Structure 1
């Protein structure tokens, strides 16, 4: 959109102030060098300011009229403005507090979903914002994890739950663990898991053994195995509400990761690039396996790519450094240069910072025009049927892929004498 000078802008405002109900066509005739969209935006802002000024003047006049009115009747509002009445407005019963809290939570969630993107000029996708929010919540939970999972804290929370069982006979509403998680500021699913572990320990102590982690996971994923149906329903509510932890979010995250890995493999098959997946690499005895290892390397942006790692999340500095230490360094040492795809976006500085390390950071798989094959005359070799997850090119296609010009390989990737 074209920009205009301040003097030109003041001239437009001056013309608008002379006559409030200007037609946009008339304004265009006065200023033919200014785009129609710009004039429309200036006119809308001018009308909004005029409306605010008129409303402010009306409020001042109404206040002056109210001051002039003197009534001899008893002011009921003044009689109710006592210390007791003010305290009654602040001190509510338990059901009112829950209703207000649920309404505020719904409003906060709606603000995040509807208005959070407006602060970023609508150019950040909702999936990217959701990934950033999930990572932020996970880090906040890690900070307070030890505080709430300490044995003394878990014992105190379990005492509260036992007290709730006594009050439940007095028509106490369900969802006690949810309310307690909100009060202490902890993840509902992790609190339910701690209470469940303490409950199993109290039962196993009678038999002289403690529950294993495998047994705890099995019961968490299938609450019907729990004898205490009240605790099962409380844990179910916590797992259902928590968006970051628990069996439901873990299953969703796993499935999203699998879907994007399938998208990566479909794209490789579409471009005719032979590859080996994790299952095929493990069958060959590799201990560290990326999502995809290219049977024949390619070049993207003058960088050699020997393997591809798919990440269905947003790549920020902290998460990328963790992946670099735990996974990517071992891939670089074993297979050479590679590419990491953060499907939900990433910090732009990561692309330039990791290029020297041999890592190509992207948010999408490169297009066919961006890929340089080893033989430019045959970009699509014949691919035979896959066998055990490995795509084998035919003999003709394999010879077509053999490099005739090795200029695309950078000098730093060549073996040193």
Structure 2
């Protein structure tokens, strides 16, 4: 589902929380899953810009916590994701990043009762950076790859998956490398990359430099699938790959609907 830039900019500027997702979905007749994905990408982008500034205040924020402000209150006060605020507090309790990530998945092992309670609430309130949010994103990625795999299998198209190629010791590789090229819209497609994202400028440029250009150089022409849609004027023509979305796999409506509706919120 492609989106014109003007509509995207209106939606993007109005998306600030999950309440906006459902309101704007109805207003613009766009799937909730698409808008939830755009919101997620917006929050991640904003957090990247804000991260250094927040951590420059970590001693002040830790002091506020020791004086009784909760992790959630500090997150709301700084407009910073609760999970990352919890990480900041634990870091100032002299815990390593590895230990923090482990504790987030084993809350019962946190001996300090206050910390255990506040971190549990922080993780439950975080739709973007919590372990559960990460698991949801990974699951959506797996669902998208599963649809492509079924599409290839139903056409008896031979391929190697990324995992199979990496097991052979090769480096960067797309999700699927085809044994023989297939013709799609006059392009001889040799690889397919699945992205459970909305293809905006930032995401596309990032992956273009990090992956797509290299795949095209190594394997030849390919296809990128942005499952949640993309900007209709996204620059891709002549770059060595096609860009498609879920509508290309219209025969698998049940599976694509499941992907779009998978835990939009909890």
Structure 1 length normalisation: TM-score?
A: 0.54
- 1:44: which partner in 2? none
Is residue 156 of structure 2 the alignment partner of residue 262 of structure 1? Answer: no
What are the superposed Cα offsets for residues 118-140 of structure 1, whole Å, 9 maximum, x if unpaired?
Answer: 442x1x21111111111111111
Distance in structure 2 (CA, Å) of the matches to 1:214 and 1:260: 30
Q: Is the 8 A contact 2:151 2:249 kept in 1?
A: no
1:178 maps to 72
The total of aligned residue pairs comes to: 235
- Quote the Cα distance in structure 1 between the aligned partners of 2:239 and 2:245: 18
Q: How far apart are the structure 2 equivalents of 1:312 and 1:365?
A: 14
Bigger-Rg structure (1/2):
1
Matches within 5 A, 1:17-416: 109-110=18-19, 112-120=20-28, 122=29, 124-150=30-56, 153-164=57-68, 176-199=70-93, 201=94, 211-350=95-234, 353-364=235-246, 366=248
Question: 2 CA distance for matches of 1:332 and 1:365?
Answer: 23
Structure-1 separation of matches of 2:167 and 2:50: 41
The unaligned stretches of length 5 or more in structure 1 are 1-107, 166-175, 202-210, 370-417
Higher relative contact order (CA 8 A, sep 6+): 2
**RMSD over equivalenced CA pairs, Å:** 2.0
**8 Å contact from structure 2 (residues 91, 97) kept in 1:** no
Q: CA deviation at 1:196?
A: 1.2
Distance in 2 between the 1:125 and 1:251 partners?
21
Greater fraction of residues in strand? 2
Deviations 1:205-240 (A, max 9, x none): xxxxxx443222212221222221210111111111
- Structure 1 residues 269 and 256, CA, compared in 2 at 3 Å: closer, same or farther? same
Q: CA deviation digits over 1:128-153, x for unaligned, max 9?
A: 11111111111111221111122xx1
Q: Does the CA contact (< 8 Å) of 2:176 and 2:193 recur in 1?
A: yes
